[in-house]
């Protein structure tokens, strides 16, 4: 994440990047690990354990077009709010249909009241216009985060969604593990002369064995998450309550 944010000029202290097309995707995807050249050492499993992430920095020039002349609100409701970045931010794991991804949110502060918060705080998100919140593909509560695609599928089927999601997540992990093993095997085959030209990398490598890939739930590796039916039900109920509240406000506004 740090490397990607630095390349976009979004990491504190990084050089600002001018985009001549004035267009950039908020989605960032990891490089294809099989294309990384490994000679002196076996490939690191870290390259195969990366997940996509979505940049959520409403205060940054990256999203200036959405702001127009609007002022970002303070989470405390200051009348003359001055919202600015207050640090690096944090990643938050999002449950998706085909796997997990991260939402990387700003850490914000109001220069008037000195209050600090994260840009994925549900209380603050409710204060933003639809132009902002419509970009988010995740439904966020204080403890849970789920992709809207999961919610759509849950409404459509409603059966064994937790089991299906966990199967897909574990399948993605197993495929990444297999890709890592195949890449390691490719190096061994090259050293053995399988491709008609014996390589000498085995004599210059510092390590003779690849690092272990690790288990699905390893926090320093794949960092796979567990999803239960209770988790999905809580998210669904939260979304229903949120929609009911929005509809109530809309009807009250029309009556006035």
Six-digit token string for 41? 């050492």
- Per-residue exposure over 21-43, b if at least 16 CB sit within 10 Å of its own CB, e if not: eeeeebebeeeebeeeebeeebb
Is the pTM higher than 0.85?
no
DSSP code for 38: -
Burial of 102 (0-12, 13-18, 19+ CB in 10 A): buried
Nearest to 167 by CA among 113, 65, 120, 99: 99
Nearest to 54 by CA among 111, 10, 114, 84: 10
Nearest to 65 by CA among 96, 35, 23, 93: 23
Q: Is 198 helix (H, G, I), strand (E, B) or coil?
A: coil
pLDDT tens track, the chain, 256 positions:
888 888 888 887 888 776 654 557 899 999 899 887 766 677 889 999 999 999 999 998 888 878 777 889 999 989 889 999 998 889 999 999 889 999 999 999 999 999 999 999 999 999 998 888 889 999 888 888 899 988 888 888 766 788 889 999 999 999 999 999 998 888 777 776 776 655 555 555 555 678 899 999 999 999 999 988 888 888 888 777 766 555 555 556 555 5
């Amino acid at each position: 994440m740090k490397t990607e944010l630095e390349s976009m000029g979004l990491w504190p202290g990084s050089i600002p990047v001018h985009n001549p097309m004035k267009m950039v995707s908020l989605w960032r995807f990891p490089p294809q690990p099989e294309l990384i050249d490994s000679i002196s050492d076996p490939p690191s499993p870290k390259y195969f354990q990366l997940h996509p992430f979505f940049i959520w920095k409403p205060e940054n020039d990256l999203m200036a077009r959405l702001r127009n002349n609007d002022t970002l609100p303070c989470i405390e409701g200051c009348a003359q709010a001055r919202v600015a970045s207050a640090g690096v931010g944090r990643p938050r794991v999002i449950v998706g249909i085909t796997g997990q991804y991260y939402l990387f949110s700003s850490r914000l502060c109001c220069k008037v009241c000195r209050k600090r918060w994260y840009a994925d705080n549900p209380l603050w998100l409710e204060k933003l216009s639809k132009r902002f919140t419509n970009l988010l593909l995740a439904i966020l509560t204080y403890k849970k985060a789920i992709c809207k695609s999961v919610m759509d599928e849950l409404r459509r089927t409603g059966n064994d969604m937790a089991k299906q999601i966990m199967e897909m997540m574990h399948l993605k992990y197993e495929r990444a593990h297999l890709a890592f093993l195949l890449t390691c095997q490719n190096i061994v085959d090259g050293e053995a002369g399988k491709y008609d030209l014996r390589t000498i990398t085995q004599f210059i490598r510092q390590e003779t064995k690849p690092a272990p890939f690790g288990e699905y739930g390893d926090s320093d590796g794949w960092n796979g998450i567990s999803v239960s039916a209770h988790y999905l039900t809580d998210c669904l109920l939260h979304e229903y309550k949120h929609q009911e509240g929005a509809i109530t406000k809309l009807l009250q506004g029309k009556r006035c």
